[in-house]
Amino acid sequence: MADRFRIRPATVGDLPAIAMAEPICFSDPWSATALRELFQTGTSTALVASDDPPANRLAGYLFARAIGDEAEILNVAVLPEFRRLGVGRQLIAVALDRLVGQGVRKVFLEVRESNDPARGLYAGLGFRPVGMRPDYYRKPREHALVLAWAPA
């Protein structure tokens, strides 16, 4: 159940665990340097999900940035042992609430064309396709669907 996970703002202290999770979650992971730059450039929303103490293990994370009244979810990941438990949905819902609280009126993200589980999650949260980025992903090469969400 998703309610057994705690969502909180990410800190620089979370970066080692996030950097270790990147190659587990993605075939073309962000580097530790790129992740650190998210904090240095003032990413508007950085969240981590962890399971309850005493384990307090990293279950997932999300990075988003807002510019004016638009935002982009840059990275959302859930570690394999925590997938299909509502962690991704909870991370995105908290991020959307925070972004709307900052005055955001539209949120974008890219998703691999073949990532049916993520596409289903995003559709269930109200994201709709608005475009495609050919050959956006490198490993393996694949198109990205651009999705958008706006508050009701």
Of 61, 72, 122, 137, the active-site residue reads 122
Of 110, 113, 136, 137, the active-site residue reads 110
81 is an active site residue? no
**Residues paired with 139 in a beta bridge:** none
Helices H / strands E in the chain, number of each: 4, 7
Distance between CA atoms of 68 and 50, rounded to whole angstroms? 30
Distance between CA atoms of 26 and 98, rounded to whole angstroms? 25
Given a contact cutoff of 8 angstroms between Cβ atoms, the answer to whether 46 and 36 are in contact is no
Query: Within 10 Å of residue 134's Cβ, how many Cβ atoms?
Result: 8
137 is an active site residue? no
Query: Within 10 Å of residue 80's Cβ, how many Cβ atoms?
Result: 9
Active site (catalytic) residues: 110, 122
